[in-house]
């Protein structure tokens, strides 16, 4: 699966260290994240949900990417007003680093919050907890639909501070600089991509389309070291 990562200028770290930022549930910017429908047994439900929330924070991280190749709203929101970077990523190349045969799941967008069975939450069975976790993780409010998000749940390695996921260099297919990216960022990106491990990567820069509310990606030549 081909997915995209919109980043601000600090996203150059993805190239420099071949790693991608993953999120703890407490880092997510949506207040409705991981919030199911409430039922009449509110107190018991709240306790069970709190336990599931803590279970997720302690054991998993979330990797969020997008199907959107050229979304001017995403560029504005996540790339510091078009000053950042967009990465085209082959998720099949990082599949072994995350859980499951097909770990990247397209988020479902809905007006209704997901419904969770209280009995499942209180059963204490790990399988039931994981099922509830996945339903909550892959469901978001329909207002976020423009993000076309693809997510992966990543098992947390308690042996280290797990804020990043290491990825192979060959998983990075293209690097697109925002139309307002500085010359310094472009120069640094060129230098990194001149390394042998990145010879397969295309470098492009966004420009404003002359007719439409859209962007054009122009390829930039990189001198090979």
| Per-residue pLDDT tens over the stretch 62-72 | 899 999 999 99
Confidence (pTM):
0.88
Helix (H) or strand (E) holding 218: strand 215-220
Q: What sign results for the dihedral spanned by CA atoms 191, 195, 199, 200?
A: negative
Distance, CA of 158 to CA of 5 (rounded, Å):
26
What is the per-residue pLDDT across 11-47, written as a single tens digit (0 to 9) for each? 999 999 999 999 887 788 788 888 887 666 667 777 7
What is the per-residue pLDDT across 156-193, written as a single tens digit (0 to 9) for each? 766 565 788 889 999 999 999 999 999 999 999 999 99
Question: What DSSP assignment string belongs to 127-144?
Answer: HHHHHHHHHHHTEEEGGG
């Amino acid at each position: 699966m081909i997915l995209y990562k919109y980043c601000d200028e600090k996203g150059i770290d993805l190239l420099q260290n071949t790693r991608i930022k993953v999120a703890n549930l407490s880092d997510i910017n949506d207040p409705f994240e991981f919030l199911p429908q409430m039922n009449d047994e509110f107190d018991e439900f709240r306790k069970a949900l709190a336990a599931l929330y803590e279970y997720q924070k302690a054991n998993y991280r979330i990797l969020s990417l997008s199907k959107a190749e050229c979304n001017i709203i995403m560029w504005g929101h996540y790339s510091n007003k078009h000053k950042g970077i967009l990465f085209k990523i082959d998720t099949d190349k990082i599949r072994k680093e995350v859980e499951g045969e097909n770990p990247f799941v397209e988020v479902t967008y809905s007006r209704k919050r997901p419904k969770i069975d209280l009995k499942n939450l209180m059963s204490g069975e790990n399988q039931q907890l994981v099922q509830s976790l996945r339903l909550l993780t892959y469901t978001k409010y329909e207002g976020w639909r423009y993000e076309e998000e693809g997510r992966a749940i990543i098992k947390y390695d308690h042996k280290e501070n797990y804020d990043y996921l290491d990825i192979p260099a060959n998983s990075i297919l293209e690097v697109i600089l925002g139309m307002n990216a500085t010359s310094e960022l472009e120069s640094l990106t060129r230098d990194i991509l001149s390394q042998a491990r990145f010879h397969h990567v295309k470098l492009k820069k966004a420009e404003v389309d002359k007719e439409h509310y859209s962007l054009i990606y122009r390829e930039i030549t990189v001198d090979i070291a």
